[in-house]
Structure 1
Amino acid sequence: MKKRLMCLSALFVLQPLSASADTLIHAGKLFTATSDSLQSNMTIVIDGNKIVDVKKGFEKGGADDTVINLKDKTVIPGLMDMHVHLSSQQGPGSYLEPFTLSEADYAFKAANYARKTLEAGFTTVRNLGDSYNETIALRKAIEKGIAVGPRIYSAGKSIATTGGHADPSNGMSPALRPDVGPEDGVVNGIAEARDAIRQRYQDGADVIKITATGGVLSVAKSGQNPQFMNDELKAIVDTANDYGFTVAVHAHGKEGMERAIKAGVTSIEHGTYMDEETMALMKKHGTWYVPTILAGEFVAEKAKIDGYFPELVRPKAASIGPLIQKTFGRAYKAGVNIAFGTDSGVSAHGDNAQEFALMVEAGMPAAEALKSATIAPAKMLGINDQSGSIEKGKLADIIAVEGNPLENIQVMEKVVFVMKDGAIFKQ
């Protein structure tokens, strides 16, 4: 009996294993994000959720392989938007939503907008602020396959000071105003600043978002005054570093921006009033710039409509909005590190790719604009070893468009194929 078992075991070991089937993408044009040019007639070989090879020519593949014909398309790495708000979308009724919507309402809105974002070709996003940690829950649901959307890096609730840009009690009657603190994203002083970071760690956030200056859409007078002291910013960054967080900073005004840069934050969002001195400081500290030109254009246009914004907001939208594209153009020429971001949720979700044309119009070459939405954000997030380009060993996040984006960047606004993690979501 013992001899028979040994023979059966030997037969099992010697039995050849069947090779797993691959997915082959035949790309007529390929932008890998590792160079500024397109390659022609390429094959991307995918096994599961990983790219295992990128070959010249159209490989035939085996009998069990799946071949995806994109020979008449331009294939690009999945796009990354580093500034979105998935659970909201700006409109004349937006300022009433905190009084009329529940946590569940925000969660369903987020799920809807996440799907639109993925179908627009954005396979990874940073969600920089929500109301009830709904995008943390959505991230988990997407990871488990029970919801559809991009890979989400969520900040949970943004952190502000009392009356600051992300204070959820702004604009409320004193009779209705809630008592908000670090858990709600409102801090004053070093201890509360540290508390807020630890709270977000407990909540399951991926990144930290703070509002270092006034903002456009908050019901508060100033759109650019500094709103954190230096010791508070240091406490935030030091604590975030302890917990492995990067720190994204909403900032329009120069002083608030420069305090945050010196404290060691990861990125400046919007950056409207940065000047040459600020840009030099960003280059010195390696700080990233996420411009959100589309949001600026959107609010400037809507400020012309009577009743669209509260009267306290309207002049800020009219004055700050149009400046962001000019700031972006100067920052690009100065050599500041730039990562693509739209602030979608101000403008409509799914329209994210309209940012590309605004970047090119301001002086950034199309290839650099594409890199700003692929390999550059991956570097900023520290995931460029697994995402951001079409290379062997990277995740199979791949999209395709009609036409040549290096000749006409607006083709990016009509994505016809989306693959995320090796699974097809649009074809």
Structure 2
Amino acid sequence: MLRMFRICTPLTLFAFASTLASAQFVYKPAAPRTLLRAGHVLDVHTGKETAGETVIIEGDHIAGLAPTASTPAKPGDRVVDLTGYTVLPGLIDVHTHLTMATNFDPYFELTMTHGKEAILGVENAKVTLEAGFTTVRNVGANGFTDVSLRDEINAGHIPGPHMQVSGPPLGITGGHMDENLLPEQYHVVGEGVADGIPAVQHMVRQNIKYGADLIKIGASGGVLSKGDDPQASQYTLEEMQAIVADAHRLGRKVAAHAHGAQAILWASEAGVDSIEHGSYLDDAGIAMMLKHGTYLVPTAYLIDWIQQYGNLPALYQQKMKDVSAVEKQNAIKAIKAGVKIACGTDAAVYPHGLNAHELDVYVNQFGMTPLAAIQTATLNAADLMGWTAHVGSLDTGKWADVIAVQGDPLHDIKLLQHVPFVMKSGVIYKDEAQPTAVDKPQPTQGGFGATISTAALPNLPPISENSF
């Protein structure tokens, strides 16, 4: 091997290194048709659990469901034995921060770079997907790192969920979306800061220009930010109306971070599509949300996790205590009033991969039935995202996003906290019963037009599957 490198010319070495660096790996289904032989299939529309059904996958879409007894395998089919499992659609989390980590140290925030965020995103996307969440909304990331993460996942270069992304969230000067940790002499401003109607219109259009699928705004102060009050409204009604008008006209929905009652009321009146957190939601806000069909995304489990494991800096502790004291009871009030609920977790405030704990809160603290809780992470979340045609159920023509659990999640919602089987777009990313059946990334053309293959490099050691 050393001798081979000694006789290589510099040009040859450059070409070899460049080819390896430009190698791209794409996940592809192993067969044109995959038959998932299920013990039971959960219909999230009705709650019916049909025994002995087969989910028929063609390429990356669901071709249909049929009784296993009348669905024989054809030559070339891949058959997956899930007869010991309950099969249901991949779950959806509409409030994640995949490019962020669970670290509340202000110095950690100040030393974060776009490069670090991108690397965190690759790790957290895989963890989230393997937790059974095949679709997410990423509501806030610096440097459009979530746009890049989405694009690389869509290209098949890295594993991760389907993503809708917001890029930098919009907020007022000194508000929750601004950078408030450094003194004036550094003149640091959050990427999405915009004040006044012309400025917020420009920021909406700029985010869309650089790839945002939705717009995230700070309607109120927050908890994990310095110097602002979660109960204080930040954007005015008029500013939010301008944001919503531009976003909707350009085909994007708007998610509003809103803790305070006034902010919830104004954001709902302005026409945002979802209220995130909703801690101080009152009767007027509930009425406005019902009037406009606004979703509530409770992000409730993070309260439990912070109380048990969190180690917040002193400047955030009192705000967290105040919000935690009221958020859940107001969410219960909203649910009883008929406000639409979509599952969102604020993953990054607690570790990624624990997303399904949110559904346990809905059932065992909010009083939802297990089916209603699952619907928040399937049908409702898909509706909020405008992706009902693609995700949220195992209907014919939708993306082949399928998970399976041992046991019945309608009897024990906690089963969703451990998902042994995950398929996204017809690709198996996790199968604990048959680890060798997990689809491996296949190399595509390198930078010099040659497929990267160890067969083409007989004198070199094999390239590890984990090296991409």
Retained in 2: the 8 A contact 1:325–1:358? no
Question: Gapped runs of 5+ residues in structure 1?
Answer: 1-19
Structure 2 letter corresponding to 1:170: N
Tell me how far apart the structure 2 counterparts of residues 30 and 49 of structure 1 sit (CA, whole Å). Answer: 19
Retained in 1: the 8 A contact 2:140–2:167? yes
Question: 1:179: how far off?
Answer: 4.5
Tell me how far apart the structure 1 counterparts of residues 40 and 260 of structure 2 sit (CA, whole Å). Answer: 42
Partner of 2:181: 171
Secondary structure in 1 matching 2:185: coil
- Deviations 1:107-147, CA, capped at 9 Å, x for gaps: 00111001000000001000000111111000000011111
Structure 2 letter corresponding to 1:223: P
Retained in 2: the 8 A contact 1:45–1:54? yes
> Is 1:404 matched up with 2:408?
yes
Retained in 1: the 8 A contact 2:298–2:344? yes
Partner of 2:453: none
Question: 1:269: how far off?
Answer: 0.5
> Is 1:219 matched up with 2:226?
yes
Tell me how far apart the structure 2 counterparts of residues 187 and 89 of structure 1 sit (CA, whole Å). Answer: 26
Question: 1:300: how far off?
Answer: 3.8
Retained in 2: the 8 A contact 1:261–1:282? yes
Of 152, 169, 187, the match for 1:141:
152
1:98-177 correspondence to structure 2 within 5 Å? 98-167=109-178, 169-177=179-187
1:73-84 correspondence to structure 2 within 5 Å? 73-84=85-96
Tell me how far apart the structure 2 counterparts of residues 39 and 416 of structure 1 sit (CA, whole Å). Answer: 20
- Deviations 1:285-333, CA, capped at 9 Å, x for gaps: 0101111001222334456xxxx32322110111212432222222211
Secondary structure in 2 matching 1:43: strand
Tell me how far apart the structure 2 counterparts of residues 328 and 74 of structure 1 sit (CA, whole Å). Answer: 30
Tell me how far apart the structure 2 counterparts of residues 302 and 211 of structure 1 sit (CA, whole Å). Answer: 26
Tell me how far apart the structure 1 counterparts of residues 32 and 137 of structure 2 sit (CA, whole Å). Answer: 33
Question: 1:263: how far off?
Answer: 0.6
Q: How many residues align?
A: 399
Retained in 1: the 8 A contact 2:174–2:228? no
Partner of 1:203: 210
Tell me how far apart the structure 1 counterparts of residues 101 and 374 of structure 2 sit (CA, whole Å). Answer: 25
Partner of 1:24: 35
- Deviations 1:254-294, CA, capped at 9 Å, x for gaps: 10110010011100001011123211211110101111001
Question: 1:347: how far off?
Answer: 0.8
Partner of 2:299: 292
Structure 2 letter corresponding to 1:152: M
Structure 2 letter corresponding to 1:74: T
Structure 1 letter corresponding to 2:244: V
Partner of 2:54: 43
Question: 1:71: how far off?
Answer: 0.6
Partner of 2:198: 191
Partner of 1:372: 376
Partner of 2:97: 85
Structure 2 letter corresponding to 1:270: H
Partner of 1:346: 349
Retained in 1: the 8 A contact 2:175–2:228? no
The alpha-carbon distance between structure 1 residues 279 and 64, as it changes in their structure 2 partners (threshold 3 A), is: same
Q: CA RMSD in A?
A: 1.4
The alpha-carbon distance between structure 1 residues 301 and 253, as it changes in their structure 2 partners (threshold 3 A), is: farther
Structure 2 letter corresponding to 1:79: L
Retained in 1: the 8 A contact 2:40–2:87? yes
Question: Gapped runs of 5+ residues in structure 2?
Answer: 1-30, 432-468
> Is 1:61 matched up with 2:73?
yes
Structure 1 letter corresponding to 2:229: S
Tell me how far apart the structure 1 counterparts of residues 325 and 151 of structure 2 sit (CA, whole Å). Answer: 37
Partner of 2:277: 270
1:195-344 correspondence to structure 2 within 5 Å? 195-301=202-308, 308-344=311-347
Identical columns (%): 37
Secondary structure in 2 matching 1:279: helix
Tell me how far apart the structure 2 counterparts of residues 189 and 141 of structure 1 sit (CA, whole Å). Answer: 35
Which deviates more, 213-222 or 408-417? Answer: 213-222
Tell me how far apart the structure 2 counterparts of residues 388 and 144 of structure 1 sit (CA, whole Å). Answer: 22
Secondary structure in 1 matching 2:171: coil
Partner of 1:70: 82
Structure 1 letter corresponding to 2:343: F
Retained in 2: the 8 A contact 1:230–1:263? yes
Tell me how far apart the structure 2 counterparts of residues 36 and 252 of structure 1 sit (CA, whole Å). Answer: 33
Of 388, 400, 418, the match for 1:414:
418
Question: 1:224: how far off?
Answer: 1.6
Question: 1:100: how far off?
Answer: 2.0
TM-score by length of 2: 0.83
Which deviates more, 341-350 or 271-280? Answer: 271-280
Secondary structure in 2 matching 1:338: coil
Tell me how far apart the structure 2 counterparts of residues 220 and 399 of structure 1 sit (CA, whole Å). Answer: 43
Tell me how far apart the structure 2 counterparts of residues 335 and 346 of structure 1 sit (CA, whole Å). Answer: 28
Structure 2 letter corresponding to 1:376: N
Retained in 2: the 8 A contact 1:296–1:322? no
The alpha-carbon distance between structure 1 residues 414 and 302, as it changes in their structure 2 partners (threshold 3 A), is: closer
